[in-house]
Amino acid sequence: MYKISNIKHLVFLPVFAMLAACTKEIDIDLNSSNPQTVIEGNISDEPGPYIVKISKTVNYSESNNYPPISGAVVIISDNTGVVDTLTETFAGTYRTHSIVGTQGNTYTLKVIAEGKQYNAVSTMPLKVNLDSIQFNSDTQPGESETTFAIVPLYLDPIEFGNNYRFFFSSNGIFDKTYQVSNDNIGNGVINQQPFTNDDVKFYEGDTVTVTMHCIDINSYNYYFTLSQIAGGGPGGGATPSNPPNNITGNKALGNFSAYTTQTITQVAHD
């Protein structure tokens, strides 16, 4: 969950060789604003139940305490005719009963909360097999121990348009950044893209876990944008703009995603 903030007079300075810097000024209101609804829901190809969380944003200067929205009507249906009305198990947390995550199926989320209706649609991609993990030396000058970049090895399908999200951990310490990729480069071949992160280092002998989600294009755009803007604000918890999402009807933040998932754990080695 992310505190939604705005930055007044955010300035970008694209610098081009041999040219003077150009400045573009973008006005984004930093002042207090009315809270916005946040909807976060996921369906995977693992057994349910699946969860939808509904809450409200807080102002930029407030703590990361997001008020839950209770009493909402939350329904998930699929293209096979299954309709599942979720139950609120905790304040703002809604759980499925019968819907099943299946590759290739399309899922529709309907939320009625505080007199407003929100809708979202996500199609679960076909699973791309995560075969293993490759460790590429990434030792920087001045480091005394060998560090590695992580390369998830999978064969991207020949069909264009595959999107992926990755989660990494080392000895139980999780990388909290947003790591995504697609097949704009490397379509139909074995992935060779390495992933690194300054917060979590991977050393010889570490137990490394990689989880790969196959996601749709809307989720890719959402998490890719978060990867670009995350880290602003107090404690890195604020974002200077709202990422694009697949929620329609009334305006809301968050994302609804149907994805496949698989995890591999290996010991880091040369």
Q: What is the predicted pLDDT for the residue at 260?
A: 98
Q: What is the predicted pLDDT for the residue at 60?
A: 58
Specify the length of the chain in residues: 270
Which residues touch 243 (CB under 8 Å, ≥6 apart)?
A: 221, 222, 223, 225, 226, 229, 255
Q: What is the predicted pLDDT for the residue at 208?
A: 97
Inter-residue contact 223 to 177 (CB < 8 Å): no
The answer to whether residue 172 scores a pLDDT higher than 60 is yes
Q: Give Rg (Cα) of the chain.
A: 20
Percent of residues, the chain, with pLDDT higher than 90: 71
Tell me the domain boundaries of the chain. 3-125
Q: Which CATH fold topology does 3-125 show?
A: Immunoglobulin-like (2.60.40)
Average the pLDDT over 132-148 and give the result. Answer: 86
Q: What is the DSSP string of 106-124?
A: EEEEEEEETTEEEEEEEEP
Distance separating alpha carbons of residues 14 and 24, to the nearest angstrom? 9
The answer to whether residue 88 scores a pLDDT higher than 50 is yes
**H or E element that contains 51:** strand 51-56
Q: Which of 240, 105, 228 is closest to 177 using CA atoms?
A: 228
Residue 28 in tokens: 């984004």
Its sign, for the CA torsion 123, 181, 221, 98, is positive
Cα 65 from chain centroid? Answer: 20
Convert the pLDDT of each residue in 26-74 to its tens digit: 444 444 567 899 999 999 999 999 999 999 987 755 556 789 999 999 9
Q: Which of 230, 226, 235, 214 is closest to 130 using CA atoms?
A: 214
Average the pLDDT over 201-221 and give the result. Answer: 96
First to last CA, the chain: 36
| 3-state SS, residue 184 | coil
Residue 14 pLDDT grade (very low, low, confident, very high; cuts 50, 70, 90): very low
Pairing of strands 37-44, 253-267: parallel
Stronger pLDDT, 14 or 165, i.e. the higher one: 165
Cα 181 from chain centroid? Answer: 11
